[in-house]
Amino acid sequence: MDKKIIEKLKDLEAQFLESYPKGFEDEEIIKIVKKFKSEKFSQEVNEFFKKDNFSQPELICESYSKIISKSPLISLFEKPKLRDAIKSMGMYEKDMFSIALYELLYGNQKEGLNDMVEILAKYQLAKWSLISLIPYYLNRKKEYFVKPTTTKNILKYFEIENIVYKPRPSFEFYKAYKDFLDELKKYSHESLNKENAQFTGFMMMCLKA
């Protein structure tokens, strides 16, 4: 990885650890993190989206809607729109949505992501937050929740010109962005990378400041 990028990361880390010396074990940060209830949502998602449950598309769609409506990571504006979209889907579309989500989580990730985008686009809901939330909750050390503002700020700060953010989700962007973050994480302080939202979250806090 480029030396300049690593130096920029170290600058952010120094800034964060100066304010919170224990990283994500710092009392102030623990209070903030608790509000997001990631551990609780992770447990629910692992229960709701077990492979066996995908034989029941209706149940999968209901569970998806339930997690989206409760998650503090999703904007209040998007929650009712998503709920109404799921309710309005016919059985065939729910079946297709369930298959796409299964592929995204357990099968061909590219195919699953692209298919979910196609389905949600019909409802003007092909949003990064709605596509990336369930994979992130299912595996918080492997997958990333893509928050548009944070993502754009990270790419801008590190001056990454070959990864171009676009509002419409695509597998190509997600893979390139994920590969970049995975590589960057190797050079990060161990107190800031126990799971992926911590890693992007500390950078978000510093870049906001």
DSSP 75-107: -TTHHHHHHHHHHH--HHHHHHHHHHHHHHHHS
- Please count the other Cβ atoms lying within 10 Å of the Cβ belonging to residue 7: 10
Q: Is the pLDDT of residue 208 over 90?
A: no
10-33: average pLDDT: 94
Task: Check residue 156 and give its pLDDT.
Answer: 97
**Sign of the four-CA dihedral 147, 150, 154, 156:** positive
Q: Angle at which helices 128-138 and 148-157 pack, to 10 degrees?
A: 90
Task: Check residue 209 and give its pLDDT.
Answer: 73
- Please count the other Cβ atoms lying within 10 Å of the Cβ belonging to residue 101: 26
> For residue 13, what is the DSSP state?
H
Q: Are 114 and 175 in contact, with CB atoms under 8 Å apart?
A: no
Average pLDDT for the chain: 97
Task: Check residue 187 and give its pLDDT.
Answer: 97
Residue 95 pLDDT class (50, 70, 90 cuts) = very high
Task: Check residue 78 and give its pLDDT.
Answer: 96
Residue 88 pLDDT class (50, 70, 90 cuts) = very high
